[in-house]
Each structure stands twice: as C-alpha cells, then as structure tokens.
Structure 1
Amino acid sequence: MYVSMEVITMLATAATLLVAIVSGFGWMITRMDARFAAQDAKYEARFDRIDDRFDRVDDRFDRVDDRFDRLEKRIHSIELEMTGVRVAVARLEGPTPRLMMVR
C-alpha cells in the first residue's frame, strides 16, 4: 500500500492539531482552577474577617448585657431602700388629718 506524502502530512497535522487543542484545554482548566482557588481564598479571608467582627460585636453585647444586669440589681436595691424610707417618713408625718373631727 502506497501512502502519499500529502496524506502523511495531513495525518501529522491532524495529530498535532489534536494534541495542541487538548493541551490548550488542559492549560485553560489549570488556569481556571488557579483563579477559582485564588477567589476562594479571597472570599474565605473576607468571611473570616467578618466572623471575627461578629464575634467582637457579640462580646460587646455580652458586656453591655452584664452592665444592664448589674444596673437592674442596683435599681432593685434602691427600690427596696426607698420603700423603707417611705415607711419611715410616713411614721414621722403621722396620720393624715381628717375633715371631720372624731369625738
């Protein structure tokens, strides 16, 4: 069987073109994977910063909540003291005067 030089050249060209297309596709996939990995790292870093910020805000809310609890305890103790003061003042003032005198 006789194969002409043109047929051999066409087969070599087709094989070379196929190898070039496959390697180009592989190179493109590798670049896309690298880009996706870079974007994932960028977003992960951003989300980590946001999570840290949320944690700091939660800590601040906890501290403010503790302050409110202490303030509520102080107000409650002042209410108890005021009740005692009201009773003492009422005893000092005596009974309220009546409109009609009792005989």
Structure 2
Amino acid sequence: MGIDSQTITVIASILIPTLGGFTWMIHRMDARFEKMETRIDMRFKEVDVRFKEVDARFEKMETQMDARFEKIDNRMNSIEGRIGSIENKLTAIDMRTSFIERLLEMFRLPQKIPQKEIKEATDS
C-alpha cells in the first residue's frame, strides 16, 4: 500500500496554500489585536491622567475644606471660651448680689429689733 506521487502532490498543493492562508490570517489578526491593544492602552493612559487631575482637585478641595472646618472649630472654641468667661462673671455677680443682699438684710434687721432692746444694748 503505497501512496502514489500524484496523490501526494495534490494533497500538498491543497495543504500548502491552505496553511499559508491560515498563517497569513493569524498574522493579520495578531496585527489587528496589537493595534487595538495599543489604542486601548492609550485610552487607559488618558483615563489615568484624568483620574490624577480629578484626584488633585479633590485633594485641593479637601485641604480647603479642612482649613475652613479648622477655622470654624477655632471660632467655636473661642465662643465657648467667651461663654465660659461670661458664665464665670455672672456667677461672680450672683455671688456679689447675694452678699449685698445679706448685708442689706443685716442692716435691716436692727430696724426690726424693738427700741427697748436697742436701749438695753447701748446702756450696758
């Protein structure tokens, strides 16, 4: 059982162009994939640049907002300090007022003492 040379020639004449066509098609597809991959890489790089710009903007805004909140916190602390100072002053005023009221009561008390007791106290 042998294969004659004509059959081998026919098979070879069919296989060689077919394999060449497949090789060309694979090479062409590789080139297209490379081109598409390059485009996609460029787009990703552009997107990365945009993201970096947006991140920089957000960081700048975050810094500004932090500064504003810090100013607000400082103002609130200052206001709380002033309120505390005012409360202390009011407490001192209340203490003075109660002291003055007690003094006034002490001065009023002798007026309520009957004159007879005052004479006895001064005579002794």
1:69 equivalent to 2:91? Answer yes
Report how far residue 79 of structure 1 moved: 1.0
Q: How many residues align?
A: 94
1:29-82 deviation per Cα after TM superposition (whole angstroms, max 9, x unaligned): 111111111111010000000000000001100110110111011011111111
TM-score relative to the length of structure 1: 0.77
Closer, same or farther: CA 9–2 of 1 in aligned 2, 3 Å: closer
**2: CA distance, partners of 1:8 / 1:82:** 107
Cα RMSD (Å) of the superposition? 2.3
**2: CA distance, partners of 1:87 / 1:19:** 99
Could you say which residue in structure 1 is the equivalent of 2:48? 26
Percent identity reads 17
Could you say which residue in structure 2 is the equivalent of 1:59? 81
Q: What SS does the aligned partner of 1:49 have?
A: helix
Choose 1 or 2 for highest CA Rg: 2
Could you say which residue in structure 2 is the equivalent of 1:84? 106
1:13 equivalent to 2:45? Answer no
**1: CA distance, partners of 2:31 / 2:112:** 119
36, 60, 68: which is aligned to 1:38?
A: 60
Structure 2 residue ranges without an equivalent (≥5):
1-22, 117-124
2:87 aligned partner, one-letter code: D
**1: CA distance, partners of 2:53 / 2:28:** 37
